[in-house]
Amino acid sequence: MHHLLPRRASCVALAAAVLSLSACSHTPGVSNGSVSVCYRAIPVGKGAIHGGHPELIGVHRVPVDSVRSHLPTAARDELAAEDDTTVCTMAFRGHFTPEEVDLAPPGPAGRYALVLVSSKQLKLIAAVVLQTLPRAFGGRTV
């Protein structure tokens, strides 16, 4: 079980890195002036969540270079093969277990799922389940 802790810590670090680099607008659920490409990624993000009715509460588009070092090797390879320069990050509210969110590392259940999708090929790259939503998505804990 202890071998899972570094992967969980890496995903939480990824979530923090992605969200600390994202700019937010004042429009709830929408951030960063150039997210239009990420709207195409929403079905992929939603499709990564199984069970329940996830509520999309935010979309961010971030440069790959700002998160690459935090991604699992397979995700880095995928993005390199696509020559992708940005990833789309989506936050969903609901009740999630890691087993219900594709690519989420093992860990406790949470109220939020954070999902990363490549912006060119629209492929799921990484995901994490969190109890508290990071500040870049409004810091919502309700």
Domain boundaries, the chain: 4-137
On the question of pLDDT at 1 being above 70, the answer is no
Structure confidence at residue 88 (pLDDT): 92
Sign of CA dihedral 56, 54, 47, 85: positive
Structure confidence at residue 17 (pLDDT): 52
As a dihedral over the C-alpha atoms of residue 48, residue 139, residue 12, residue 32, rounded to 10 degrees, the angle is 70
Which band of pLDDT confidence, cut at 50, 70 and 90, is reported for residue 11? low
Interval 39-91: pLDDT, tens: 999 999 999 999 778 999 988 888 888 888 888 888 888 888 888 888 999 99
Structure confidence at residue 142 (pLDDT): 34
Structure confidence at residue 32 (pLDDT): 45
Q: Which of 139, 28, 31 is nearest to 89 (CA)?
A: 31
Mean pLDDT of 95-114: 94
Interval 14-42: pLDDT, tens: 555 554 444 333 334 444 445 578 999 99
